[in-house]
A = this chain, B = another copy of it.
Amino acid sequence: MIDKRWQDALYITEVINDEGLEGHTYVPNGLKLKTSSPLNSNPGTNPEQLLGMSLSTCLEATLQAIEREHALPHTAAVYVKVAFVGSKAHYEFLVHAEVSLPGVAPALAQAMVTEVEDRCPVSQLLRQSANYTISLAK
């Protein structure tokens, strides 16, 4: 954590998991969620859903800003799919975000998808991975 930008952060949150996949993840004095493997029927969310929630909200928030900059009404919606793939030797997640921009001309809509991929902070973290893709909904 040598990166000096931590000192000028607009916001910092801490999140803990000290139990396991069948356990809880929580923000101290904040949100606490039950977690469970997606491969059993126990109640609880999982890393795949939580990553999809983070990415979909980040993309949607950034699209709202882009809509405002273009004086467009807010019509954007973001649908994220996260897949758990592989086998015991090596597991990976695949992440695909589909952006719906009803009422926006196709060329502008495509430009907005390219822009949101660059600007959304979660998208920036993922975009060097070949497992992350984003597209405009047909």
Chain A interface residues toward B at CB < 8 A: 1, 3, 5-6, 8-21, 23, 25, 27, 30-31, 33, 35, 37-39, 45-61, 64, 74, 76-86, 90-96, 100, 119, 121-122, 124-126, 128-129, 131-133, 135
Given A50-B50, A94-B9, A18 contacting B57 (CB threshold 8 A): no
Checking B47, B86, B131 against A54 with a beta-carbon cut-off of 8 angstroms, the contacting residue is B47
Question: In the complex the two chains form, is A85's CB within 8 Å of B125's CB?
Answer: no
- Residues of B close to A10: CB separation below 8 A: 38-39, 83-86
Given A20-B64, A21-B60, A14 contacting B50 (CB threshold 8 A): no
Output the nearest chain B residue to A49 by Cβ-Cβ distance: B13
Task: State the copy count for this chain.
Answer: 2
Binding site of A, secondary structure by majority: helix, strand, loop or mixed? mixed
Question: In the complex the two chains form, is A91's CB within 8 Å of B51's CB?
Answer: no
Checking B21, B33, B74, B85 against A53 with a beta-carbon cut-off of 8 angstroms, the contacting residue is B33
